[in-house]
Structure 1
Amino acid sequence: MRFDLSDEQRMIVETTRGFVENELYPHEAEVERSGHLRMELIRELQAKAMEAGLYAANMPEEVGGAGLDTLSWLLYERELGRANYALHWTCVARPSNILLAGTEEQREKYLYPCIRGETWDCLAMTEPGAGSDLRGMKATARQDGDDFILDGTKHFISHADIAGFAIVFMATGEEDTPRGPKKRITAFFVDKGTPGFTVRDGYRNVSHRGYTNAILEFDNCRLPKSAILGEVHQGFQVANDWLGATRLQVAATCLGRADRALQHAIAYAAERRQFGQQIGKFQGVSFKLADMAMELKAAELLTWEAAWKFDQGTVTEADMSMAKLKATEVLGMIADEAIQIHGGMGLMDELPLERIWRDARLERIWEGTSEIQRHIISRELLRPLGG
């Protein structure tokens, strides 16, 4: 593994950071204070992101993306992650890789419009009674001739309000396992406007203002077989094959915000004077800065190593879980310490720190809680010994 960036990677970092600072930062206050991201602003920034070559850059070249290797993609994600989440995710969209699992006909209908910025996708797994335990989902799809009929509820579905369609995971049967019966899961494309499919406003969230969540309701929602993504009962296989790197994506965006908070803390420690000297010269502050920088470096190395291994085909579930776990918890620590260094001003919305602090809390929950990541890591340690 090389620790220096290539010329192309440095260009990606510089281009993305310049876009974030010049095009996204100026709109953060509006989104944070209103909790709303205007469609006119989305379209304006979307066009600029396309012009800069940053839109849908996570996608392979053959479908219209940038064709980035995993490390380059995560460097790009880190820079985008510095900004308000709604701004960077919606206006510089990265369609879900799971769309690549579709047939050519499905790609024409769903993938390519997302890459062209004509619509957005959303992924619907979580239910009110089944969070991390996806096999415990109660929403079902039953076969009726050549069709499937969907019933049930999904919630916490990100940006479903603007998405043109949902990729929905439904229980389609059961199988016996050594640990008892388990649900069989199938993934479906469901177009907005399909009879029996309703999108309702979700919950007010203290994290990621402007980035909405929704409740999806299915009531006798009839779909043809052609709406299946992958094979019947193979929804988990599709998800495992195509969604593996999402934990690394979360880790990378957390690194960007953590670095932004750290840079604010360093600048303030050098500028602020108390008792006749810079506060950065007091051990109580200087040691905080040292710990923040060290922990951020550790999180970066775990993430970059996992990215490198992903492209070598040697990455493990534990590698990705360690990166996600470390980066999300380090972000929380750095955000908290940066506010402590700033004192009362750290909690004022003139600075991005209170927003970074609020947003950090969600990162330890979505894409697998910190507890789930620890479970994955410990399971991989114990499995060779029969644990």
Structure 2
Amino acid sequence: MQFGMTEEQAMIVDTTRAFVENELYPHELEIERTGHLDMDVIKDVQSKAMEAGLYAANMPEEVGGAGLDTLSWLMYEKELGRANYALHWTGVARPSNILLAGTDEQKEKYLYPCMKGEKWDCLAMTEPDAGSDLRGMKATAKQDGDDWILNGTKHFISHADIADFAICFMATGVEDTPRGPKKKITAFFVDKGTPGFEVRDGYGNVSHRGYTNAVLEFDDCRLPSSAILGEVDKGFDVANTWLGATRLQVAATCLGRAERALQHSVEYAAERKQFGQQIGKFQGVSFKLADMALELKAANLLTWEAGWKFDQGTVTESDMSMAKLKATEMLAFVADEAIQIHGGMGLMDELPLERIWRDARVERIWEGTSEIQRHIISREMLRAHGA
């Protein structure tokens, strides 16, 4: 494993960072103060991202993406992570790579319009009573001739308000396992406007202002069999095959925000004077900076190693969970220490620190809580001993 960037990776980092600083930073304060991301801003950023070759860079070249390897993609994500989440998610978009699992007809209808910035997708798994325990979902799809009838509720569905369609995971049966009955899951494409499918406003959220969530309601929503993504009862196979690296994406964006917070802290500690000298010369501040840098580097190394191993085909669930766990908890620590170093100014919205501090909280919850990540890591360790 090489620890230095290739020329191509350095170019990706420099190009993405410049784009973030020039095209995304200027919109941040308005979004933070209003909680709203205007569609005109999204379209403007989207157009510039396409021109810069940064749009949908997570996707393969054969479908119009940049075809980045996993490690390079994570470096790209880290730079995007410096900015307001809603801005880079919708404006510099990453169509979900689960769309690659579709048939040729499904790709024409859903994937390629997303690649062109004409449509947005959203993923619907979480339910009011089924978050981390997806096998406990109650929303169902029952076969009726050649059609399927969907009923139930999904919530916390990110950016469903602007999405043109949802990829919904529904319970389609029950199977017996050594640990008792488990739900069988099937994934469906559901177009907005389909009778029986309603998108309602979600909840106010302290993290990631402008990045909305919604409640999806299904009331005898009828779909043809052609709406199935993958195979019947194989929804988890589809999800595990195509969504595995999302934990690394979360880790990478956390790295970018932590690096931004640390940079502000170092500059402030070098410039701010109290009692006749820069506050960075006080051990109480300098040791904070050292600890912040140490935790950030450790999270970087775990994330880059997992990305590199993903490309080698040797990554484990534990590798990805370690990266996600370390990076998200590191961000919380760095954001809190950055505010402490800045004192009262750290809580003012003239600086991005209070946003980074707020945004950090959700990272330990979505894409698998910290507790779930610890469970995955320890389970892999114990399995080697037959436990």
TM-score band by shorter chain is over 0.9
Cα separation, 2, equivalents of 1:284 and 1:333: 16
Cα separation, 2, equivalents of 1:45 and 1:240: 31
Cα separation, 2, equivalents of 1:324 and 1:114: 27
Q: Does 1:230 align with 2:230?
A: yes
Partner-residue secondary structure (3-state), 1:385 = coil
Cα separation, 2, equivalents of 1:283 and 1:247: 36
1:161 aligns to what? 161
Residue 110 of structure 1 deviates from its aligned partner by 0.4
Cα separation, 2, equivalents of 1:384 and 1:103: 38
2:313 aligns to what? 313
Partner-residue secondary structure (3-state), 2:62 = helix
Cα separation, 1, equivalents of 2:162 and 2:58: 20
**Cα root mean square deviation, aligned:** 0.3
Gaps of 5+ in 1: none
Partner-residue secondary structure (3-state), 2:384 = helix
Q: Does 1:216 align with 2:216?
A: yes
Matches within 5 A, 1:86-235: 86-235=86-235
Matches within 5 A, 1:1-387: 1-387=1-387
Cα separation, 1, equivalents of 2:10 and 2:176: 51
TM-score, structure 2 as length reference: 1.00
Cα separation, 1, equivalents of 2:120 and 2:93: 8
Cα separation, 2, equivalents of 1:206 and 1:101: 34
- AA in 2 matched with 1:284: G
- AA in 2 matched with 1:294: L
- AA in 2 matched with 1:289: L
Tell me the alpha carbon deviations over residues 5-58 of structure 1, each in whole angstroms, 9 at most, x when there is no partner: 011000000000000000000000010001000011111111000000000000
Gaps of 5+ in 2: none
- Identity over aligned residues, as a percent? 84
Following superposition, which runs of at least 4 residues in structure 1 exceed 4 angstroms of deviation? none
Paired residue total: 387
- AA in 2 matched with 1:382: L
Tell me the alpha carbon deviations over residues 52-109 of structure 1, each in whole angstroms, 9 at most, x when there is no partner: 0000000000000000000000000000000000001010000101000001110000
Tell me the alpha carbon deviations over residues 129-163 of structure 1, each in whole angstroms, 9 at most, x when there is no partner: 00000000000000000000000000000000000
Cα separation, 2, equivalents of 1:294 and 1:155: 37
Residue 358 of structure 1 deviates from its aligned partner by 0.1
Cα separation, 1, equivalents of 2:54 and 2:104: 24
Tell me the alpha carbon deviations over residues 96-125 of structure 1, each in whole angstroms, 9 at most, x when there is no partner: 010000011100000010010001000000
Partner-residue secondary structure (3-state), 1:109 = helix
Residue 384 of structure 1 deviates from its aligned partner by 1.3
Cα separation, 1, equivalents of 2:79 and 2:384: 38
Cα separation, 1, equivalents of 2:116 and 2:333: 38
Partner-residue secondary structure (3-state), 2:267 = helix
Cα separation, 1, equivalents of 2:190 and 2:11: 38
